[in-house]
Structure 1
Amino acid sequence: MPTPRLALTTDVGHGPLDGAWWPRCDALELELPSLVGSLEPDLETAIRVTVDPAAWPDTPSTVMAPGRVIAVEPAGPGGETHVISLDCGSAGRWVLLVVPPDEPAGTAARLLVAAADPENPLTAARMLALAEADRLGGAKGAAE
């Protein structure tokens, strides 16, 4: 499994986000095992993940990972888009911005850094909207 493209805040739980994750594709069953493994829960820990069903087509209810089964639940009504929350028992709980897999590398890198900043007050939706506006503004400026 490739190392996940992940940035975590050092001060978990002090903002709307605890960091960001930039998966390589939208196949949760391929991406989730390395993400969970990087958070280092022990193999006996029950892992529960909540995802935005719109961002993960055909979301499975469980994902197999080395030595464990990860329970996956769709976020309910009112859940934030482009967010994944991972409850890893005693290892911790994280709420992460999910940077779309097709996001340009420069934009994704900026989003990873910003989401991991414990002083960042922005939600995932707001961060992605600002990134989109910057991208469109840059494209407009380049065309002029």
Structure 2
Amino acid sequence: MTSASSPPPQVPAPSGTRLRLADQPRERRTARKIDGAWWPRSYDLAAELPGLLAGLPRAWGRISSVLVHGDIWLDCPERVDVAGQAVHVGRRDSPTASDTVCLLAPGRGRWDLLVVPPGTAGAEAGRLMEQAVTQGA
């Protein structure tokens, strides 16, 4: 599923958030499966999610639900409070989506981000993030 409203070009993320977004909507690239890349500092979703959501373009709207791979994230909560609003966290166990996070905004769309493992070396993380935004992973 793709968004009816496309994301704007890459925007700077808040200080400390390691996020890269594709500068063209996936509708224009038929092979695109990934809308960007996120390199969290840990697998603590409750600690990492607020920074990720704060770094997203306003045009994406309020993210109400996040889908993550259940085996990867430590102590994955069902809800995370972000800026005073609850964000539902769903788990999925699909082996094809273990390295992605899916963001859902009602009436706005769905965006999929590659998750670069927190322990990845800087150069390799940069390469993976660049590949995700230029080739759609």
**Which TM-score band (shorter chain)?**
0.7 to 0.9
Query: Number of residues paired by the alignment?
Result: 119
Q: Tell me how far apart the structure 2 counterparts of residues 23 and 92 of structure 1 sit (CA, whole Å).
A: 23
Over aligned residue pairs, what C-alpha RMSD do you find? 2.2
Contact 1:61 1:71 in 2 (8 A): yes
Deviation at 1:24, TM superposition (A): 0.5
Q: Tell me how far apart the structure 1 counterparts of residues 83 and 20 of structure 2 sit (CA, whole Å).
A: 22
> Residue deviations 1:61-119, cap 9 Å, x none?
001111211110002445511100101235542101100000001000111111011xx
Tell me the equivalent position of 1:107: 124
Q: The residue matched to 1:33 in structure 2 has which SS?
A: helix
Q: The residue matched to 2:97 in structure 1 has which SS?
A: coil
Where do 5+ consecutive residues of structure 1 fail to align? 123-144
Contact 1:52 1:75 in 2 (8 A): yes
Percent identity between the two aligned chains: 32
Structure with greater Cα Rg: 1
Tell me the equivalent position of 1:82: 99
Q: Tell me how far apart the structure 2 counterparts of residues 41 and 93 of structure 1 sit (CA, whole Å).
A: 14
Contact 1:52 1:79 in 2 (8 A): no
Tell me the equivalent position of 2:33: 16
Within the candidate set 14, 17, 39, 1:4 is matched to: 17
TM-score scaled by length of structure 1: 0.73
Farther-moved stretch of structure 1 (71-80 vs 10-19): 71-80
Residue type of the alignment partner of 1:38 = G
TM-score scaled by length of structure 2: 0.76
Q: Does 1:57 align with 2:70?
A: no
Q: Tell me how far apart the structure 2 counterparts of residues 66 and 81 of structure 1 sit (CA, whole Å).
A: 27
Contact 2:63 2:103 in 1 (8 A): no
Q: The residue matched to 1:49 in structure 2 has which SS?
A: strand
Q: Tell me how far apart the structure 1 counterparts of residues 99 and 87 of structure 2 sit (CA, whole Å).
A: 19
Change (3 A) 1:110 1:8: same
Q: The residue matched to 1:116 in structure 2 has which SS?
A: helix
Where do 5+ consecutive residues of structure 2 fail to align? 1-13
